[in-house]
Amino acid sequence: MFDAFTHKSLEIDKCSIDVLMAGGGPPLLLLHGFPETKAAWHKVAPQLATEYTVIVPDLPGYGDSTGYGPDAGHECHTKRAYANILVQLMSGLGFDTFSVAGHDRGGRVAYRMALDHPGKVGRLAVLNIIPTLEVVERLTFESALKMGNWILLGQPAPLPETLIRDNPAFYLDYILNSWAELPEQITPEARAEYLRCFEKEAVVAAMCAEYRTNSLDADYDREDRDNNRRIQCPVLALWSAKDDPGGEEGTLSVWKQWADNVSGAALPGGHFLMEECPDATCRQLFMFFNGRT
C-alpha cells in the first residue's frame, strides 16, 4: 500500500511511534482515526507525496506504535498528550513547523496540536469531526445511540476490552461497514491490516484508554473557549454529506467558533473520507495546503 514510503520507528517519551515517510517539499503530517491505522491514508498519501514531504504515523498505542501504560487519571492518553508526542516526532524528523490533517480521533489530536503549539502548525485540516466539547454539549439520547463507541469504549476497564477481545473481527467490521456509505471502498488489504492490529490486546487497551479521556479533552476545550484561545492557523473542515457531525448547525459553522480563518466542504460518501472518496479528499487537501482556499 505504501511501496514508495520509507519506514521508521522513533522512541519518544517511553513510546515507540511507527511512521512512514515519502515525497519532498513542505512537511505534512497525516493522522488516522478509530478503528484504523496509518493505512487509512493509503489512497491519499501517495498522491500528496508528489508535492509534500508526507509523514504518516500510527497514533500512540494504535497500529504498530506503542503508547503509555495504564494511567489512573488517564492524562497520558489525552489528545494533549498525544499531540505533544507527535510534535516531538516531527521535531525528531527535522521539522519544527509543519501542516497537519487528521481524521476522526486523529483530527482531535490535530486541532489540540494547533491550540497547544500554535507556532508549530502552519495549516490544519480536520476530517469528519467537530471539537470534543461541541460533541459533549450536543449529546442527546438519539445522538448517543449513534455513538456507541464513545459510550462503550469509555467504560472502565476491563469491560470494553473483554467484549471486543471475544470477537475483534466482528466489532471491527461492524464499525467499518456501519459508518461507511461505501464500505466496499475500504479495500480487503486495508481491512486485513486493521484487523491485524485490532487483534492485539495492547492496541484495544490503548484505544479504550484514549476514549476514556473524552471528558478531559472536553475540559481542555472548555478552558480554551473560556479564555478565548482560538486556533490561529487556517483551518479546512471536510465532512461526510451523509452524516454532518455539526448537525443542524453545520460543521463549518461550528469550526468558525474556534478559528478565524475556516473553509470547508461536504464530500460524498460516509465517515471514512480518505478511503470512500480519496480523489475528492485529495483535491480539497491540495487546494488548501497550497494556499488556494
Catalytic site positions: 104, 271
**Inter-axis angle of helices 188-198 and 201-211, nearest 10:** 90
For 231-277, the three-class secondary structure string (H helix, E strand, C coil) is ECCCEEEEEECCCCCCCCCCHHHHHCCCECCEEEEEECCCCCHHHHC
User: Which residues sit opposite 267 in a β-bridge?
Assistant: 240
d(CA 265, CA 48): 19
- Contacts with 49 (C-beta within 8 Å, 6 or more apart), sequence order: 4, 5, 22, 23
- Contacts with 161 (C-beta within 8 Å, 6 or more apart), sequence order: 201, 204, 205, 208
Measured at the alpha carbon of residue 58, what is the angle toward residues 5 and 179, in degrees to the nearest 5? Answer: 110
Q: How far apart are the first and last CA of the chain?
A: 29
Give the residue carrying C-alpha cell 472518496: 277
Residue 169 grid cell: 473481527
Query: Residue 166: in which H helix or E strand, if any?
Result: helix 159-166
Give the residue carrying C-alpha cell 452524516: 243
Write the DSSP symbol of residue 182: S
123: nearest Cα among 29, 250, 230? 29
d(CA 283, CA 44): 10
